[in-house]
Amino acid sequence: MMKSMDGMIHRFRIGQIDCTALSDGYLVYAPPTFPRPADLLFLNAPKDRLDEMLREDGLDLQEWAEFRSGYTCLLIKTGEHVVLVDTGAGDLGPHTGRLLDSLALDGMSPEDVDSVLITHAHPDHLGGNADDQGRCRFPMAEWIISEREWDFWTGGQAERDLPEHGREVIIGCARRNLSVLEEHVRLVRGEEQILPGVAVIPAPGHTPGQSAVRVSSQGDTLYCVSDVVLHPLHVRRPRWVAVVDMLPTQTVATRESLLQRAAAEEALVMGFHFPFPGLGHLVPRGDGWDWVPLV
């Protein structure tokens, strides 16, 4: 049984596990702060083919001036544990930072969350870690992140590898929101079941240590793929990468592997930047898949 409320929360079940898609709001990606959407999202796409595929979705390549991206976090309630996947963007934009309101709509408080899993350390995924006073927003939680991701942002590699444009802001946000976790962080390596029915899966490429999450119960499965895909067209054309995919070759390899795995299991898939609630199924088509939204 599924239920939406005011476009802010969407409840669903994976077997016996209760889940809620929680909206943190949205951000509009447009010049001059960001490249035009086609250049931002589909860096290596042939323009004629991209134009053709966008027209199928009612978009004109030349007139597509902005990309309104939803930010959707995931709450997992196993019965014994409450796990939050990502904390949203905080005050990144005028329409972000709605996570706590969505959590309240679901009848939950920050103190109810006992595990927070950060898929990667970009501002839109961990900007809600700390409040305005620099205090941890989820004080009862164990914080989980991949060791490779933690080391990238805290060990100096980010300064060496990130492009100069925006580097200071991105690294500053990562360090500010990771520093509040130091005494409560659990670093994971490889694929690991962190709780019964909840597993962390390495998904590098968009960032060096990005993770995805697999939820399974009674034959039902959900893959929360974070930024393995940023737009539904990446599902159909998994070899088209974005400007913000740090390791393009690895991004493609991870995307094809993870989506193939989800399709083979006939799993529900959740994309962080997809239109709310970001849930859908994969249907094989050519070299990729069609994205079929759940609602």
Provide, rounded to the nearest whole percent, the portion of the chain with pLDDT above 90. Answer: 88
Helices (H), the chain: 37-41, 47-56, 99-105, 123-126, 147-154, 157-161, 167-179, 232-236, 248-264
Per-residue pLDDT reduced to its tens digit, 238-253: 999 999 999 999 999 9
Structure-token pair, residue 256: 């094809």
The answer to whether residue 71 scores a pLDDT higher than 60 is: yes
Per-residue pLDDT reduced to its tens digit, 150-168: 999 999 999 999 888 778 8
Give the residues across from 168 on adjacent strands: none
Cα separation of 143 and 294, whole Å? 30
Phi, psi dihedrals of residue 109, rounded to the nearest 5°: -125, 165
Reported confidence tier of residue 182, pLDDT bands at 50, 70, 90: confident
Mean pLDDT, all residues of the chain: 95
* Closest to 259 (Cα-Cα) out of 214, 218, 295: 214
Q: Residues 21-27: what's their mean pLDDT?
A: 98
For residue 181, the enclosing domain spans 3-293
Say which residues have a Cβ less than 8 Å from residue 162's Cβ, sequence separation at least 6. 170, 171, 246
- What Cα–Cα distance (Å) separates residue 51 from each residue in 70, 159, 163? 23, 36, 28
Q: Residues 265-282: what's their mean pLDDT?
A: 97
The answer to whether residue 1 scores a pLDDT higher than 50 is: no
Structure-token pair, residue 156: 């100096």
Cα–chain-centroid distance for residue 246?
15
pLDDT of 63 reads 93
Q: Residues 10-17: what's their mean pLDDT?
A: 98
Structure-token pair, residue 3: 């239920």
Task: Say if residue 123 is preceded by a cis peptide, omega within 30 of 0.
Answer: no
Q: Residues 128-132: what's their mean pLDDT?
A: 92
Number of domains in the chain: 1
Q: Residues 19-25: what's their mean pLDDT?
A: 98
Cα–chain-centroid distance for residue 241?
16
Reported confidence tier of residue 2, pLDDT bands at 50, 70, 90: low
Cα–chain-centroid distance for residue 153?
18
Reported confidence tier of residue 4, pLDDT bands at 50, 70, 90: low
Q: Residues 108-113: what's their mean pLDDT?
A: 97
Q: Residues 243-264: what's their mean pLDDT?
A: 97
Say which residues have a Cβ less than 8 Å from residue 221's Cβ, sequence separation at least 6. 14, 214, 215, 262, 265, 266, 267, 268
Reported confidence tier of residue 132, pLDDT bands at 50, 70, 90: confident
The answer to whether residue 148 scores a pLDDT higher than 90 is: yes
Reported confidence tier of residue 57, pLDDT bands at 50, 70, 90: confident
pLDDT of 286 reads 86
Burial class (CB in 10 A: 0-12, 13-18, 19+), 164: exposed
The answer to whether residue 3 scores a pLDDT higher than 60 is: no
Identify the CATH number of the domain in which residue 280 sits: 3.60.15.10
Provide the whole-model pTM.
0.95
Q: Would you say 236 and 289 are in contact if contact means Cβ atoms under 8 Å apart?
A: yes
Q: Characterize 66-84 residue by residue with b for buried, 16 or more Cβ atoms within 10 angstroms of its Cβ, and e for exposed.
A: ebebbbbbbbbbbeebbbb
